[in-house]
């Protein structure tokens, strides 16, 4: 079934979202530079089938949501998610985020626990290490200096940083992923650049997360080079009572590489948590 996108006017901007299924509300928050439709490859259909109402959306910075090219803060993105849940009028919601989307989810769970029934945090982090700082600085510099990598090289670097060596060891899989990434192009829009700015000098938030009170599931991906699983484990250790699971043979795109295992972990957690 094709679900037509809608636009919610919330928090002073327009957020493009899709609403599918029925049952308890699950809101899904995507990571840096990616549209909400990425969830539709595997997670959204599985959650709808499992009996949930699933809302995916494009974060500010990702068209057709407002790009806000003048810049914005993480707090703005947290407020966007909160306002969307309020707009839907079906909260509190189970909130699922990956990467930057998980960071947004953590902050939302901390500041607006009234809107969050439980949280699922994929490939997350509470602080940046030296490698994360270096990669983030380099990504911003490429855009600011007007440097465009050759498409094939950009695809190779993206695959290397975000996919498991087990995925790339199969030549057919590797070629397919390289083709997908190259076809997707290099998004250098002002909105994406504004999202990348959020990673400049990010604060260590691990101690703050000790005040989170909502049930939380943290999932690390064993072969994640972008945000290694020890960073996710730190978040799980910080949140009181949080559960931790780790998915083997999965990189930063683990929800695409190992969707069955990711979906199993998420759905089992939701079934245990939402009564």
Query: Which residues have a catalytic role annotated?
Result: 99, 224, 252
**Tokens of residue 218, six digits:** 């943290």
Tell me the CA distances in angstroms from 234 to 126, 144, 158, 237, one per residue in order: 7, 32, 25, 5
Tokens of 222: 């064993």
Q: Quick count: other Cβ atoms within 10 Å of Cβ 2?
A: 5
> Do strands 6-10 and 13-20 pair parallel, antiparallel, or not at all (unpaired)?
antiparallel
Tell me how far apart the alpha carbons of residues 224 and 151 are, in angstroms, rounded to a whole number: 23
Query: Burial of 54 by CB count in 10 Å (0-12 exposed, 13-18 middle, 19+ buried)?
Result: buried
Residues 6+ apart with CB under 8 A from 177: 159, 163, 167, 168
Would you say how long the chain is, in residues? 275
Check: CB of residue 178 under 8 Å from CB of residue 152. yes
The whole-angstrom distance between residue 268's C-alpha and the CA centroid of its chain comes to: 19
With residue 108 as reference, give the H or E element that holds it: helix 100-111
**What's the Cα-to-Cα distance from 42 to each of 38, 106, 141, 155, rounded to whole Å?**
8, 23, 33, 22
């Amino acid at each position: 079934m094709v679900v037509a996108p809608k636009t919610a006017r919330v928090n002073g901007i327009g957020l493009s979202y899709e609403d599918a299924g029925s049952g308890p509300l699950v809101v899904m928050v995507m990571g840096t530079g990616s549209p909400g439709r990425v969830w539709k490859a595997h997670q959204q259909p599985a959650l709808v089938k499992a009996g949930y109402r699933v809302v995916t959306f494009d974060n500010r910075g990702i068209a057709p949501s407002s790009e806000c090219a003048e810049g914005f803060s993480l707090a703005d993105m947290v407020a966007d998610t909160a306002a969307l849940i309020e707009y839907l009028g079906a909260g509190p919601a189970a909130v699922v985020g990956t990467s930057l989307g998980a960071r947004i989810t953590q902050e939302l769970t901390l500041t607006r626990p009234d809107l969050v029934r439980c949280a699922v945090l994929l490939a997350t982090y509470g602080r940046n290490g030296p490698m994360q700082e270096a990669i983030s600085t380099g990504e911003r510099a490429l855009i600011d200096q007007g440097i465009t990598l050759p498409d094939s090289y950009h695809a190779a670097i993206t695959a290397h940083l975000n996919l498991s060596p087990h995925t790339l060891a199969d030549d057919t899989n590797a070629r397919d992923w390289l083709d997908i990434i190259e076809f997707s192009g290099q998004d250098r829009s002002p909105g994406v650049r504004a999202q990348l700015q959020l990673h400049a000098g990010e604060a260590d938030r691990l101690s703050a997360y000790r005040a989170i009170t909502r049930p939380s599931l943290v999932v690390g991906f064993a072969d994640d080079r972008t945000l290694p699983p020890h960073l996710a484990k730190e978040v799980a250790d910080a949140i009181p009572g949080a559960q931790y699971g780790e998915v083997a043979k999965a990189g930063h795109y683990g929800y695409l590489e190992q969707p069955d295992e990711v979906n199993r972990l998420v759905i089992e957690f939701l079934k245990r948590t939402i009564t």
